[in-house]
Structure 1
C-alpha cells in the first residue's frame, strides 16, 4: 500500500489519492468520509499549483465509484473542458485524457473512450515518462479487454484480445512493481486466456493473485481468480473452477464493481450447473442479477439527481436573468427604465450610425398630469401612465427603444428603419402625439375638462445620449411654451452648452 500511495503523486493531491486507495481496498465508508472532506469547500475546489484538469477528472472517477453520479458527471465535464485536447502535451495531460477515456468507457461511450485512451498513450510516449505510459497503457488495455468479454457479438474478439495483450506486455516492460504492475499482470492474464495461451495466462494470474492479496488489491485479485477459474473450467477441474470463481465474485463484491460482479456471477452459475449444483447455480444467478439491477438503479438514480440538479441550475439562471432584467425595467409600466436606457443607448447609437442612419431621440412629457393626480388621485395617475405606455408601444416601431425616464416623462430612441431616417423622428413623434390625443380617457378619468395629452421634443444627430437628450429637452421646452400637445424638432447644430430655459 505504501508503494501504491505514490501512484499519481506528482499530479494528484495526497487526500485525493488516498480516496482512490481506500476504494481499491474496499474501505468505502472511509473513502466516502475522506471524499467529503476533500470536497467540503466545493467538489471542484483545487488548491495550490496542481493541474486542475487532472485533479478534477481523477476526482470524478472517485465520485463515480462512490455512486455519486451527478458529482462525477459535473467534475468530469469541467475537467474535460479545461483540457487542451487538440494540442495535448505532458504527463498531466496524458493522465487526464486517459482518465476521461476510462470514465467514458465505464458509462458505455466506447468509441470516444478508446479514441481518448489511444491519444493519451501517444501523449505519454512523447512525454517520455515510463510510469505515466504504463498507467495509460493499463487503462487502454483494460478497455479493450472488458469490451471483448462483455460484447463479443459486437467486435472481433481475437483482434481485441491481441491488441490488449500487446498493450499489457508493453506496460509490464515499464512497471516493475505496485498497483499498475498487478493490474497489467491480471488483465494480461485474462487476455492471454481469451487467446487460448493457457500456460502463460496461468503463470501471470498466479503471480498477480499473490501480489494482490499481499496489497489488499481486490480488483486485481478478482481478475486473477477469474482467469484461474476459467482455466480450471477448460481443464475440466470444475470443483477448483467453482472455488476460484466464488472467490473472484467475493472480491468483486468487496470493491462494488457491479459490471464485473454481473459477469463473474454468470460464469460461476455455468460452472455450478455443470457440477450439478442447483443451489450454487441459483445463488450465483441471484448475485449476478442483483449486481445488474443495482448498476441500473444506481445509474437511474444518478441520472435523476443530475436532471434535478440541472433543473435547479436552469431555474436559478432564469431567476438571475429575470433579476438582472428587472433592474433595468420600470415596475409600473413594464418599459425600460432610465438605467436600462443608459446601458443600451451607446450600442444602439453606434449601430445606427454604422448603418448610415440618423439617430433620433424623442423626449415626451405628459401634459396636465399634475391635474390628473390632484383631481382623480394617484391611483388614476398610475393607470394613465400605464395607458400611455401602451399607446407608446403601439405608435412606435418594433425595434424602437421606449423608456420611462422619470415621473411623467418618457424617452424613445429610434433605431428602426421603416421610415426614412432623416424624418423618422418627427413622423413617429406626431404619431405618438395624435394617438394619445385621440385616446378615450373616460373609462379611466370619467368626464374630465382636460384629458392628458403629450408635448414632445425631437432631436437628431451623430452624437451621445447626453447631447441628444439636451437638444430634445430644448425642443420640449418650446413645445410646452407653445401651448402643449404639439411636437417641436431641434434642427440646429448641437452645442453641448445649450440648455433648455425653465
Structure 2
C-alpha cells in the first residue's frame, strides 16, 4: 500500500474510533478525539477518498450536535466531487453518509434516492464493508419511511428492506456494521409480522451490543422488542422496552432515533391507557423536535452569516481591485487598469481578425490652464475631458487616464476596405470626434473666460504589443504638437499624413 493509501486508511480508522465512542455514549471523549482529527486530512488524496473522509467527519459532527461544522464539512466534501462521476467504494461511502445527513434534517425522499445510488455505486467497488454500510443505510432509511406510512403501505416498504439487510449481513459478519445491520433487521422483520425471528434477532443484537458497549444498537434492539410486544398486545412490556430505547437514543444524541422512538412510545402509552406516560413521551418527542429545529436554525444562521461575510469579503476584494485600476479623479481606468486589460483586448482582436487601434490624447497647454484658473479648475477640466471621451467612444472601448493630462483609448475595428477615401478607419474617426468635441465644447462653466483647452491626438494601429502601439502613437502625437496642436496625426511606417481640423 502506498503512502497516500496508508494515510487514508489511518484517517478512516481514526474516524471510525470517534463513531464508536459516540455510539457508546462517550461524547466528551469523542469530542476530544474528533478535535484532534479535524486538522488532519492526508495530502495527495484523490477527490472521492478525501470526500469520504470529510463526510464521515460531517456525520460525526452531526451526532455530536456540532451542526454548523457538520454542514461545513459536508459542503466541502460535496464540492470536492460535485463534477465527478461517482465510481468506486469511497464514492459510495460518501454518498451513503450524505444520505444519512439528508435523512437527519428531514429530507427523507432525497435521502432515500441518494442512498439507493450509494448502493449501486458500492456494488462497483471492491470494499465489502462499505457495501454493507451502504446497504444498512438504505434499508434503515426504508425502515423509518415505513414507520411513517399507513399500515397497508408500510409492510411493502419493510419487505423491500429485508433482503438489503440480509445481503449486508452476509458481507459483514462481525463488528459495528454487523451489529447495526442485525438490530435494524429485527425492526423490518417485526414490521412484516415475523415476530419470533424479530425478537431472536433483537436479542442477538443486544447481546453483541453489551459486549461492545454499543448504545446505538441497544437503543434499536429495545425498539424492536417494543414493536414485537406491541403487536403481541403486551403493552406494559412494550412500554418498558420503549422507554429504554428512548433513554439510549437520548444518551447518544441521535435525534432521528429519539424522535421516532418517543413518538412510538407515546402511541403505546395511549393504547395502554397511560396518560401520564403518554404525556411524558410526547414531551420528550416535542423537546427532541424542538432541539433539532433550533440546532438546524442555529446551523443555518451561522452558515448564512458565514456566507454573508464571504460575500462581503469578496465585494471588498473586488472593490480594492477596482480602486487599484481606477483613476480617482476622472473615474476612468488608470495606467495599471489599461495594462491589465490591454493584452486581452489585443489577443481577442487577433483571434477574431479585427484591427486594434490606440488613440493617445494630450491636453494642449494644460500648464497654462492650471496657472490661469488654478489647480481645482484644472482638475475640473480633466474630469470634463473624461466625460467628453466617454461620449465619443463606444461601449466596448477601453478609456484610460495615462498620466497627468494624457489619456488613452484602446479600441478595435473590423477589417474593411478604406481605399479611395470612401470610409475612415474607426480609430482615426474616434480620434477626430474627440478632438472636435473638446475644441467645440463650452468651457465657460468650468474655466470662465480662461484660455480654452484643445487636444492633440496621436493614433497608431497594427497587431503589436501595447508598448509598441503606445510608442508609435507617441510619435504621431509629437508630430501633432509640432505641427500646431489641436490636430490628429496617424503613425504609418511608410508615410506620414494628417487629418487636419476643419477651418
Q: Same fold (TM over 0.5)?
A: yes
Aligned-pair CA distance for 1:361: 1.0
CA distance in 1, matches of 2:44, 2:357: 55
The match for 2:134 is: 136
Which of the residues 446, 449, 457 maps onto 1:447? 449
SS in 1 for 2:358: strand
- Asked if the contact 1:165–1:192 (Cα under 8 Å) also holds between the matched residues in 2, the reply is yes
With over 3 angstroms needed to count, the CA separation of the structure-2 counterparts of 1:422 and 1:446, relative to structure 1, is: closer
The match for 2:201 is: 204
The match for 1:59 is: 57
Aligned-pair CA distance for 1:426: 2.0
- Asked if the contact 2:266–2:279 (Cα under 8 Å) also holds between the matched residues in 1, the reply is yes
Task: Describe how 1:393-412 pairs up with structure 2 within 5 A.
Answer: 393-412=390-409
With over 3 angstroms needed to count, the CA separation of the structure-2 counterparts of 1:297 and 1:198, relative to structure 1, is: same
The match for 1:3 is: none
Task: Describe how 1:419-498 pairs up with structure 2 within 5 A.
Answer: 423-448=425-450, 450-493=451-494
- Asked if the contact 1:134–1:174 (Cα under 8 Å) also holds between the matched residues in 2, the reply is yes
SS in 2 for 1:173: helix
* 1:106 lines up with 2:104 in the alignment: yes
SS in 2 for 1:359: strand
- Asked if the contact 2:259–2:285 (Cα under 8 Å) also holds between the matched residues in 1, the reply is yes
The match for 2:88 is: 90
- Asked if the contact 1:401–1:415 (Cα under 8 Å) also holds between the matched residues in 2, the reply is no
The match for 1:164 is: 161
Aligned-pair CA distance for 1:494: 9.3
Q: Could you list the runs of 5+ residues in structure 1 that have no partner in the other structure? A: 1-7, 496-502
Task: Describe how 1:168-247 pairs up with structure 2 within 5 A.
Answer: 168-247=165-244
CA distance in 2, matches of 1:204, 1:271: 22
Aligned-pair CA distance for 1:228: 0.7
- Asked if the contact 2:355–2:415 (Cα under 8 Å) also holds between the matched residues in 1, the reply is no
With over 3 angstroms needed to count, the CA separation of the structure-2 counterparts of 1:347 and 1:196, relative to structure 1, is: same
The match for 2:286 is: 289
- Asked if the contact 2:246–2:258 (Cα under 8 Å) also holds between the matched residues in 1, the reply is yes
- Asked if the contact 2:11–2:41 (Cα under 8 Å) also holds between the matched residues in 1, the reply is no
CA distance in 2, matches of 1:133, 1:458: 71
CA distance in 2, matches of 1:131, 1:357: 62
CA distance in 1, matches of 2:475, 2:342: 20
With over 3 angstroms needed to count, the CA separation of the structure-2 counterparts of 1:341 and 1:494, relative to structure 1, is: farther
- Asked if the contact 1:365–1:409 (Cα under 8 Å) also holds between the matched residues in 2, the reply is yes
The match for 2:19 is: 20
- Asked if the contact 2:222–2:242 (Cα under 8 Å) also holds between the matched residues in 1, the reply is yes
- Asked if the contact 1:258–1:291 (Cα under 8 Å) also holds between the matched residues in 2, the reply is yes
Aligned-pair CA distance for 1:417: 6.3
Aligned-pair CA distance for 1:85: 7.7
CA distance in 2, matches of 1:155, 1:109: 23
- Asked if the contact 2:68–2:302 (Cα under 8 Å) also holds between the matched residues in 1, the reply is yes
Instruction: Report Cα offsets for 1:124-168 as digits up to 9, x if no partner.
Output: 33333332222221112111111111x315994222211211111
SS in 2 for 1:223: helix
Q: CA RMSD in A?
A: 2.6
Instruction: Report Cα offsets for 1:34-78 as digits up to 9, x if no partner.
Output: 333333x5xxx6134553111111111122223333332232232
Aligned-pair CA distance for 1:258: 2.0
CA distance in 2, matches of 1:456, 1:398: 20
Task: Describe how 1:379-390 pairs up with structure 2 within 5 A.
Answer: 379-390=376-387
Aligned-pair CA distance for 1:437: 1.8
SS in 2 for 1:335: coil
- Asked if the contact 1:148–1:155 (Cα under 8 Å) also holds between the matched residues in 2, the reply is no
With over 3 angstroms needed to count, the CA separation of the structure-2 counterparts of 1:116 and 1:274, relative to structure 1, is: closer
With over 3 angstroms needed to count, the CA separation of the structure-2 counterparts of 1:444 and 1:87, relative to structure 1, is: closer
SS in 2 for 1:126: coil
Which has the larger displacement, 45-54 or 459-468? 45-54
Q: Could you list the runs of 5+ residues in structure 2 that have no partner in the other structure? A: 1-6, 497-503
The match for 2:250 is: 253
CA distance in 1, matches of 2:491, 2:390: 23
Aligned-pair CA distance for 1:454: 0.8
Aligned-pair CA distance for 1:294: 1.3
CA distance in 1, matches of 2:327, 2:309: 28
Instruction: Report Cα offsets for 1:165-194 as digits up to 9, x if no partner.
Output: 111111112222221111111100000000
With over 3 angstroms needed to count, the CA separation of the structure-2 counterparts of 1:236 and 1:494, relative to structure 1, is: farther
CA distance in 1, matches of 2:338, 2:495: 21
Task: Describe how 1:20-39 pairs up with structure 2 within 5 A.
Answer: 20-39=19-38
Aligned length: 482
* 1:264 lines up with 2:261 in the alignment: yes
CA distance in 1, matches of 2:261, 2:354: 76
With over 3 angstroms needed to count, the CA separation of the structure-2 counterparts of 1:87 and 1:274, relative to structure 1, is: closer
With over 3 angstroms needed to count, the CA separation of the structure-2 counterparts of 1:216 and 1:49, relative to structure 1, is: farther
